[in-house]
């Protein structure tokens, strides 16, 4: 049996440059993994089976199913594995849990099936599975462009504490609704992202500077797509020294840098509303997920 972890992500910046001819939007975003994670177990099997402890994403509804099939199709083999997904990342929050699971499974199955695919091959397959999947093959800190599948690694952030806030409930077709709320006035040239890349490349005063450069264009339309976010945002007003930002298309929010005091204040304030509050840390590419699959010894 192989066991792997798959970590969540936040978007340090998220800019939309315009709408593409294929219907997708052109984005420029800096992605960052954090140490909130799912756990996956992969066993040999006579067929492909995907089980998840979240009932809405079992079997073919799970992106892991698409990832395993895409990998097998690329290599001309029949997909044979039993994959169990144990969720630690809240679902449909903009944290990339499904994409991270898909990337983790691709790496594990590449080993289990002895396919011998390199990083470039895996990235090409991942891009066809989902926009964020290629990023999670390495994790850490990276620039994502195109529709999110074109990945350029960046100098990693040090380990920084982050308070992560996940509202109760989800919205069907949330990502589509958020993009539909955008209009040309929300499009930009990617300049905010470029400024943060310069800070990361410089390597000095990164922690002091990064909070002031975090940015997410969806914050300008979130109340239109998710009206209930207004009340939550107001409850959090004044609790954090640094700005609250949406993670991806939301509704999860984060504060970076944060600290244990802010985490506890937010936890106590939001407990009556069923909101999940986590204190997590940014991770580098080598620890973004346990990509070196651990073989479990079988019975003797």
The answer to whether residue 9 is catalytic is yes
CB of 266 within 8 A of CB of 167? no
Catalytic residue among 9, 38, 101, 174: 9
Of 223, 232, 230, the residue nearest 177 (C-alpha):
223
Catalytic residue among 86, 132, 174, 189: 132
CB of 137 within 8 A of CB of 125? no
What the block records as the tokens of 181 is 């709320």
Residue positions counted in the chain: 300
The answer to whether residue 132 is catalytic is yes
Distances from the Cα of 140 to the Cαs of 7, 30, 130, 184, in angstroms? 10, 10, 18, 31
d(CA 31, CA 46): 37
Give kind and range of the element (H or E) at residue 107. helix 97-112
CB atoms within 10 A of CB 205: 9
d(CA 64, CA 112): 15
Residue numbers annotated as active site = 9, 132
């Amino acid at each position: 049996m192989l066991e792997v972890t798959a970590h969540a992500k936040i978007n340090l910046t998220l800019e939309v440059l315009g709408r593409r001819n294929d219907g997708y939007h052109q984005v420029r975003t800096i992605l960052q993994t954090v140490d909130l994670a799912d756990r996956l177990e992969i066993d040999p099997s006579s067929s492909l089976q995907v089980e998840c402890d979240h009932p809405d994403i079992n079997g073919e509804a799970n992106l892991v199913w698409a990832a395993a099939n895409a990998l097998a199709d690329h290599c001309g083999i029949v997909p044979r594995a039993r994959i169990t997904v144990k969720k630690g990342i809240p679902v449909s929050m903009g944290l990339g849990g499904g994409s991270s699971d898909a990337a983790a499974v691709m790496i594990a199955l590449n080993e289990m099936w002895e396919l011998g695919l390199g990083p470039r091959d895996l990235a090409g397959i991942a891009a066809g599975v989902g926009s964020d999947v290629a990023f999670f093959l390495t994790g850490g800190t990276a620039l994502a462009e195109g529709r999110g599948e074109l990945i350029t690694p960046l100098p990693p952030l040090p380990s920084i504490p982050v308070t992560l806030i996940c509202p109760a409930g989800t919205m069907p077709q949330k990502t589509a609704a958020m993009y539909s709320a955008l209009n040309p006035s929300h499009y930009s040239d990617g300049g905010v992202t470029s400024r943060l890349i310069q800070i990361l490349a410089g390597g000095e005063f990164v922690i002091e500077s990064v909070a002031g450069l975090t940015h997410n264009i969806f914050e300008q339309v979130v109340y239109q797509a998710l009206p209930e976010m207004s009340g939550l945002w107001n409850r959090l007003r004044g609790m954090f020294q640094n700005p609250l930002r949406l993670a991806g298309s939301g509704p999860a929010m984060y504060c970076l840098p944060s600290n244990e005091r802010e985490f506890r204040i937010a936890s106590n304030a939001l407990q009556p509303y069923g909101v999940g509050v986590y204190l997590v840390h940014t991770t580098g590419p080598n620890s973004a997920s346990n990509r070196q699959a651990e073989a479990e010894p079988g019975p003797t």
